[in-house]
Structure 1
């Protein structure tokens, strides 16, 4: 499949190799196939990796989809989707609480990926999972619409260039902003859970900003610089302020987990346009 991208007006003059590797973060394996197959064109003319590209050039890449594995899933109901942003490469959704991001088995239905598969089938394409939200968490979630951009978005996440901000309501009065730096690992006694593990865990950092305090609860914003499983939930429980409605890390009942992925900010991988997307109405 061919993908054509017009370089922005502020694009610096660089070689094609530098554009693919440094600007677009295209993985080495993909760059290798593009080079040996001569699957890159500039303004409809073949271009070699050492040649220069310029502002407003049209760059066309041919990606062999057989180079990527894709597990087919059943189509769901496209009417269920709440789309926040979409272009030919990305789609950002507002996930309802209680809906899984993707099926664990090929025959499973009722997940966000099932519904998105139905929607994108009309466009002749299919969705690719970039990251996940817990079933109980609502809010912003990003999917790739083609295999070209999928590894690029993955690298942006790894390089902490996709910023995510969450809303949460927690038990107790959290009186001041703070940063939680605690390593997170698996709970050996419950495979569903994560724990604070100073020795064997992976580094995790959550920035907490207090929005409003009430008699027994606090409304806060959480900004992630890492993306560990259950990170916000585990970190907040570890300081004595678990998220309200958390079925794993506190015992009090509530209608739902009070955690919402409220905002995502990134620079578009190809146009370098700054995207700031919010999922309204949120929790507060």
Structure 2
């Protein structure tokens, strides 16, 4: 009887642990992060904008705030934090005039060469620009117009979906709406006609198990689509608060409104950067969720690239 009693207690303890562990896993919440490297202001450029995570390096654009006439690109080693201000190989300077607001970007390999596709948000000219890069040097490689129902479209977000021997397929985002668009693999110019796919639920979305009352007043930022897992990550910001909502089982074929996940969320409420903590873009590399920020406090700006602590995409 005594031995059986101990066994019953042990089994109950294990079962209780499993239940608690299961509950924690079902409502995963991440609210801490680690700095990888700062992305300091240059003489021209003070606003952190587009971001992309590659297999080894992270890329962050900074532009000329309020003018959108010139920008620079930082490359950061995701493990060591080693940082380089990339060179515009066209004129061997660190700046370029092509990227407009440069609100978001995605990485695509074409014929073994690395490329960045950057949305400019320009009302005229090119709404999408392609840069070819080799190491820490990049070159202008393409400009494209984006159209929706025949009118200029200037989306604020872009993410690669797929690459075939002939075609690159993207998701674009404007506000909470996701659009599909594709481009011939090697085209250096042309028009991409967008088609509406789905909307992203924001109102009523749960963060750490509860809705955020003023979430609909947060600013839209870029986004990232993990095509291998069909998961979309969507950052929203307001003052010193940044939230990343997650949407599962979405694809170019999704329609209607995609519901935000109720069991996975990210939020940073920064006391150290109480003036501004604004996630601009996010990206997954080796399962980790990386991001860049505009950060500021009473001491001034301290923009940087970071990683969420503890999260590994399942």
| TMscore range, shorter length | under 0.3
Greater strand fraction, Structure 1 or Structure 2? 2
| TM-score (norm: length of structure 2) | 0.25
| TM-score (norm: length of structure 1) | 0.27
Greater helix fraction, Structure 1 or Structure 2? 1
